[in-house]
């Protein structure tokens, strides 16, 4: 069961309502910058976690400045489209509400997730021909309450990790499929259901990569399963290796 630390009360709260009713995930942004992009990314991962758990979620964007630019850059990072809050109808207004906001901002009602800022000197988009998903991984590597500095070294490290994992997944895909081990599935779900702890999900993947005795087909299925939350396109290179 997905639980979120409600920033309003300081107490854990159940993010998924009873009977898996529609849940509204509202991302609050002030404009187009790296912090706003991180807010949208956290909201996107939250929506994915709810849906994997069987709860329908509706992502909504609460922002009025530079929305087109934000949508375009978010799409490049694999963030799904968000509805404009001004278009919310009465049926959506009645849904359970989860707010995702920049640290220090406020939101009325519902459960609130605070997101720490990204260094204002960091680039909003990835420079050159770098895979934009690199920026997604660089942001996901840090707990959402921890400020992030997107240095060239951090982006290079994320890019190297992403390339390595995609190649490994492509190699593992050539072996007979095996189910995700129950213990590994439990560890993955325990990580993202505990206050959306994405860095802990990444730690599970690092452990699975070298886990003794695990068939490569199970490694493949584990990475593909976790990517439903991460959105890193880890299976993208299947069939491309020589």
Can you name the residues that pair with 60 across neighbouring β-strands?
26, 83
Can you name the residues that pair with 96 across neighbouring β-strands?
23
Tokens of 175: 């072996």
User: Taking a C-beta distance cutoff of 8 angstroms, is the pair 52, 41 a contact?
Assistant: no
**What is the pLDDT tens value at each position of the chain, 242 positions in all?**
899 999 999 999 999 876 777 899 999 998 888 899 999 999 999 999 999 999 999 999 998 788 888 888 899 899 999 988 766 665 555 568 999 999 888 888 899 999 999 985 655 665 555 678 999 999 999 999 999 998 889 989 999 999 999 999 999 999 999 999 999 999 999 999 999 999 999 999 999 999 999 999 999 999 999 999 999 999 999 988 77
User: Taking a C-beta distance cutoff of 8 angstroms, is the pair 98, 113 a contact?
Assistant: yes
* H helix or E strand, kind and range, residue 2: none
Cα–Cα dist 74/133, whole Å: 10
User: Taking a C-beta distance cutoff of 8 angstroms, is the pair 6, 111 a contact?
Assistant: yes
Which SS3 state, helix, strand or coil, does residue 167 take?
A: helix
**DSSP conformation letters of 24-80:** EEEEE-SSSSHHHHHHHHHHHHHHHHHHHTT--EEEEEE--SSHHHHHHHHHHTTPP
- The distance from CA 51 to its chain's CA centroid, rounded to whole angstroms, is 12
DSSP E strands in 64-211: the ranges are 83-84, 96-102, 111-115
In degrees and rounded to multiples of 5, residue 4 shows phi and psi of -125, 140
Tokens of 33: 């910058």
| Residue range 50-99, pLDDT digits in tens | 999 999 999 999 987 888 888 888 998 999 999 887 666 655 555 689 99
């Amino acid at each position: 069961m997905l639980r979120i630390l409600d920033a309003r009360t300081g107490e854990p709260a159940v993010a998924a309502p009873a009977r898996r009713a529609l849940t509204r995930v509202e991302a609050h942004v002030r404009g187009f910058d790296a912090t706003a992009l991180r807010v949208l990314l956290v909201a996107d991962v939250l929506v994915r976690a709810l849906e994997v758990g069987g709860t329908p979620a509706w992502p909504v964007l609460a922002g009025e400045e530079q929305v087109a630019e934000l949508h375009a850059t978010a799409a490049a990072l694999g963030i799904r489209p968000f509805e404009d809050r001004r278009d919310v109808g009465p049926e959506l207004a009645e849904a359970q509400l989860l707010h995702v906001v920049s640290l220090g901002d406020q939101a009325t009602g519902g459960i609130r997730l605070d997101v720490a800022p990204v260094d204002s000197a960091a680039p909003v988009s990835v420079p050159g021909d770098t895979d934009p998903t690199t920026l997604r991984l660089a942001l996901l590597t840090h707990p959402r309450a921890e400020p992030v500095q997107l240095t060239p070294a951090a982006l290079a490290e994320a890019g190297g990790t992403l390339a390595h994992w995609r190649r490994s997944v492509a190699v593992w895909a050539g072996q007979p499929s095996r189910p995700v081990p129950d213990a590994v599935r439990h560890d993955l779900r325990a990580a993202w259901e505990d206050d959306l702890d994405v860095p802990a999900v990444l730690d599970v993947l690092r452990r699975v990569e070298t886990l003794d005795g695990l068939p490569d087909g199970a490694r493949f299925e584990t990475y593909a399963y976790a990517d439903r939350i991460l959105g890193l396109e880890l299976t993208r290179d299947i069939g491309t290796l020589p």
